[in-house]
Amino acid sequence: MLKVYIPEFAKITPSLIYWKLNDAVSSKIVKIKILLDQNVKITGVHSSNEQIYAQIKTIKPGMEYELVITPQSTTEPADAELILKTDQGKVLSIPVVIRDFSPPATTDPVKVDPAASSTNK
């Protein structure tokens, strides 16, 4: 059996960004740390959803970055994938989600009236 080890080249914290529906519109920050012995420059970021904006901030050139993510709104569910490209052809992907993570509202159990379920002949 052939085993292949592919080293991780960057640590992304957190690895998933999410807002609950109707949360206040605010920016969230993802920290990106390059784990290689060489510098890796992040050259751009693309969002698969134009409603979710992302901007790269360089903290230590080639080694540490912050990704500032801001949705235009949180009133509707949304998903996006943020794709970060590097000067070495490497690609990072970060999922972004706006969903209702609240538990469903409790309701009274459905009551069935036996007389209503009988059929007329």
Mean pLDDT score across all residues of the chain: 83
Residue 110 maps to a domain: no
Does residue 108 belong to any structural domain of this protein?
no
pLDDT in tens, the chain (121 residues): 888 776 788 899 998 898 999 999 999 999 999 998 889 999 999 999 999 999 999 999 999 999 999 999 999 999 999 999 999 888 888 888 888 765 445 444 444 444 444 444 4
Residues 6+ apart with CB under 8 A from 107: none
In a domain, 107, yes or no: no
When divided into structural domains, the chain yields a total of: 1
Predicted local confidence at residue 109, as pLDDT: 46
- The CATH number assigned to the domain holding 65 equals 2.60.40.10
- pTM assigned to the model: 0.74
In a domain, 89, yes or no: yes
Its domain, for residue 38, covers: 10-100
Which helix (H) or strand (E) covers residue 97, if one does?
strand 91-99
The confidence score (pLDDT) of residue 105 equals: 52
What pLDDT score was predicted for residue 98? Answer: 85
Query: Strand 78-86's sheet: what is its strand order?
Result: 17-20, 91-99, 78-86, 42-47
pLDDT of the residue at 121: 44
Is 116 a domain residue? no
pLDDT of residue 89: 86
Does some domain include residue 109? no
> For position 41, what pLDDT does the model report?
93
Tens digit of each residue's pLDDT (9 = 90 or more) over 96-110: 888 876 544 544 444
